[in-house]
Structure 1
Amino acid sequence: MSLDTLKTRFLETILPTWAVAGYDADKGQFVEYLELDGTPQKSGSVRTRTVARQIYVHAHASSLGVAPPVSLGLAEQAFANLHRMAWIGGKRCGYARAFDPLSGAVTDPVLDLYDNSCVLLALSWLLTATGKKEYRQKIDSTIAAIDRTLKDAFGGWAEDSIGTQPRRQNPHMHYLEATLALCETHATSAYLRAEGKAFSLLRSHFLVGPHGPLHEYFGPHWEIDDRFGSARLEPGHMCEWVWLIGRHDALRQTQHAETCADLLSTALALGRIGGSPFLVDEVAATGVATVASRRLWPQIEMLKAFISQHRRLGDKRYLEDAEALVAAILRTYFRDVPNGCWHDRLDPDDRPISLTIPASSLYHLWTAVADLVEGARPVAQQQHPIDCDRLAVVEGVNVGRDQLGSFRPT
């Protein structure tokens, strides 16, 4: 089966390769990318989000018992250096957007919701993998920093500490991902409130109309207008939301099956152009590709959506779609590449056009493989829904369900 092939390839070849080539032992830090020949980035800045995502991959894989023996040590060392170099204290605190591991200098001091959300995800799995209370403390500090530094009067959080426009759904989606991970493994009423607040933005701002589509770009008050690029849509993110909604529903014991069906059908209708099995990177609502290339990550998010829908509905057609998609991915993105690598971007004729192999796609691949690993475990070892009402009573916090199944203070 193609899904088993992908899982085996990732665990036996890709992750061990990136534990070596993707980690600069002299600097104690993960790299931003590999060159096309599989050699690591030699110098320069790394983005906090890229480093954090690699920390997450190695910590999560270690927690599931499928990582190389060195993975957890690398993740802990990388986080220690990330925090030492990128954390900015003070009244408006948080993790800077980029830094140079060689000099230790911050190269982009902006505090960004996307980057801080990725750090939060990494911390959630460092806590799970090690049980060290210092990671719990940093989780709470990071959530507080996001709320303090990036608070916004019009809902959600600011894009960054300098008020960059347009506003995007993408960083909020990754904040939801991080808070979901916290609730799935270390639920507290505070983490549940944060997850509920993030999830509520889907209906209040990101989905326009009862059946979508999912918008990406907005004005400062969440306006949808061509001035802010609101007509530009990303099918890969629609699929990613299907996966996240499935996790939210499993956590909260809620049902948003219709929303998932709408998002996935819209993504496939708009994103699969010209009979291709792959999604284009960006498309207009009219169905015209505005960025016709096909990065690897949207295909992996489509795969995760198929798997999520199969598990939610038990419809074998989604599993068949997942198998067919992975077979196509293996034939194209993994053809004629260095050991443990892939083509990160294809043109409309499936020819590779990437200039590097970004480490960010390692994260996307792992999230799909993690679902396959966890899905193969006995039911008794899998994550069970949180009894949110019981937790609220234990912690002495009143919470109420809104129409989306989220939780908010009452």
Structure 2
Amino acid sequence: MLDAEYARVLAAFSVEVSLLDDWLHSNALPLWFEVGYDRHAGGFFERVQLDGSPCEADNRRARVQPRQIYCFAAAGARNASIDWREVVQHGFLWFERVYRRDDMFFGSVASPTGIMVDESFDLYNQAFALFAFANLAVSVQDCKEIMEGKARALLHSLKAEYAHPEGGFHEGRPTKLPLCSNPHMHLFEACLAWERVALDPAPWTALADEIAELAMTRFIDGGSGALREFFDHDWTPFPGEKGRIVEPGHQFEWAWLLTRWGMARSNQPAIAAAEHLFELGVKHGVCTEREVAFMGLFDDFSISDPVARLWPQTEWLKAAALLAQVNHGEQRTNYLRQATRASAALRKFLATEIPGLWYDKLSADGTFVHEPAPASSFYHILCSIYEVRDTLKQLQ
């Protein structure tokens, strides 16, 4: 009976993977290759209108540039049928030229013409620079050594200038509060990426282990098992309402990362923590009426923000798919059910008039906000589709 049910669920999951994969390679990658990169001034556009034209006047956040570099580099590594090297190489040169500060960190915002308008340090932006370097090292083999040198130099500067004595990093100098789990999540992701490709993986392994320990002892609440967003100077929850914020999408995203780390280290407590984060995300963070993951909870699991954005659907999908790989029997079947459910939720956001674009926000009343598609979402979407492709290959 279980075998028959598993076969049925796996078949439904396979259909979802096929639909997403076709959307990505037939629609999204060609569209964003054509209109998502500014071939006149350089750099990636921040948003694309739902009619398929770029929002040329938008200022450009530093975090978007390495995210888009990742998307095309990762697609190239999987033999996507576009000239991905063009946008990857030109995009990287523009990112370095425009956002690199004199102290070798990256600033935050530039004008469309490539003039930095906000030079402030943001740990989040450094994390995505490291992530882009890793993916370039994989996809463009002749620049691997250069990318590793850049990544090692940036990591050295981060440790020298911003290391927190109790683990992780400060948000700025002088000490800026609150401390945040979110940029550490992306540093964790960058470390796991570098661990696979670096000629010397030791510093990346060490930092990944440090962040995993920080997540399991400080970010995750010892009582509820939920992961918080904001912290005081000593990594205790930040005072007031801000310190009570719990995001369903980040329960899923940390579940995915801790599962990856737990698999690499044969660390069952990490995988158990990931499974609990996933359960909390589904139980408290998925609206059963709209069938989507929404944005915010408080630490008592009451709703703080009912709007559903696209990116939590992708993290729900990624976590469910990877957890299906590390489980067996009825548990695997249940995670595949969740992955199928998450894929259906994601495809709601992808159902735009022009295939290859997406809606970013679904209101509490179940209507989509009609606004330009943010480029920053592409990183989430592409990563989740490649995760489910890999899972399907593992399970077939």
Whether the TM-score (by the shorter chain) exceeds 0.5 is yes
Task: Give SS of 1:107's match.
Answer: strand
In the aligned structure 1, how far is the partner of 2:227 from the partner of 2:117? 33
Rate the CA distance shift 1:336–1:228 in 2: closer, same or farther, 3 A. Answer: closer
Which one of 150, 159, 166 corresponds to residue 147 of structure 1? 159
Which one of 79, 97, 108 corresponds to residue 84 of structure 1? 97
In the aligned structure 2, how far is the partner of 1:10 from the partner of 1:161? 41
Kindly provide the amino acid, as one letter, of the partner of residue 251 in structure 2.
M
Greater CA drift, 303-312 or 129-138: 129-138
Rate the CA distance shift 1:98–1:259 in 2: closer, same or farther, 3 A. Answer: same
Contact 1:94 1:149 in 2 (8 A): no
Contact 1:184 1:251 in 2 (8 A): no
Residue 200 in 1 paired to residue 213 in 2?
Answer: yes
Contact 2:171 2:180 in 1 (8 A): yes
Kindly provide the amino acid, as one letter, of the partner of residue 364 in structure 1.
H
Q: Which residue of 2 aligns with 1:95?
A: 106
Which one of 13, 22, 26 corresponds to residue 40 of structure 2? 26
Q: Which residue of 2 aligns with 1:118?
A: 128
Which one of 320, 327, 338 corresponds to residue 354 of structure 2? 338
Which one of 169, 174, 179 corresponds to residue 186 of structure 2? 174
* Cα root mean square deviation, aligned: 1.9
Task: Give SS of 1:270's match.
Answer: helix
Q: CA deviation at 1:164?
A: 3.2
Contact 1:7 1:372 in 2 (8 A): no
Residue deviations 1:201-230 (CA, integer Å, cap 9, x gap): 112210111651111111122221443611
Greater CA drift, 233-242 or 29-38: 29-38
In the aligned structure 2, how far is the partner of 1:69 from the partner of 1:321? 32
Which one of 338, 342, 353 corresponds to residue 325 of structure 1? 342
Residue deviations 1:47-68 (CA, integer Å, cap 9, x gap): 1111110001111111122x24
Which one of 149, 161, 177 corresponds to residue 165 of structure 1? 177
Which one of 298, 302, 306 corresponds to residue 316 of structure 2? 302
Which one of 237, 244, 251 corresponds to residue 257 of structure 2? 244
Rate the CA distance shift 1:377–1:313 in 2: closer, same or farther, 3 A. Answer: closer
Greater CA drift, 171-180 or 319-328: 319-328
Residue deviations 1:76-134 (CA, integer Å, cap 9, x gap): 111111111111133xx3111122241x3211111211001001000001011112122
In the aligned structure 2, how far is the partner of 1:100 from the partner of 1:48? 11
Rate the CA distance shift 1:81–1:225 in 2: closer, same or farther, 3 A. Answer: closer
TM (norm. structure 2) is 0.89
Contact 2:318 2:388 in 1 (8 A): no
TM (norm. structure 1) is 0.86
Which one of 273, 283, 288 corresponds to residue 259 of structure 1? 273
Which one of 36, 39, 60 corresponds to residue 46 of structure 1? 60
Extract unaligned runs of 5+ from structure 2: 1-14
Contact 2:45 2:60 in 1 (8 A): yes
Rate the CA distance shift 1:378–1:290 in 2: closer, same or farther, 3 A. Answer: closer
Q: CA deviation at 1:274?
A: 4.8
In the aligned structure 2, how far is the partner of 1:286 from the partner of 1:210? 11
Residue deviations 1:124-150 (CA, integer Å, cap 9, x gap): 010111121221211112211222232
Rate the CA distance shift 1:377–1:126 in 2: closer, same or farther, 3 A. Answer: farther
Q: CA deviation at 1:375?
A: 3.8
Percent identity, aligned pairs only, is 25
Kindly provide the amino acid, as one letter, of the partner of residue 368 in structure 1.
S
Q: CA deviation at 1:241?
A: 0.8
Kindly provide the amino acid, as one letter, of the partner of residue 217 in structure 1.
F
Extract unaligned runs of 5+ from structure 1: 380-410
Tell me which protein shows more strand as a share of its residues: 1
In the aligned structure 1, how far is the partner of 2:365 from the partner of 2:380? 23
Contact 1:273 1:280 in 2 (8 A): yes
Which one of 111, 132, 138 corresponds to residue 128 of structure 1? 138
Kindly provide the amino acid, as one letter, of the partner of residue 33 in structure 2.
A
Contact 1:279 1:294 in 2 (8 A): yes
Q: CA deviation at 1:163?
A: 3.7
Task: Give SS of 1:233's match.
Answer: coil
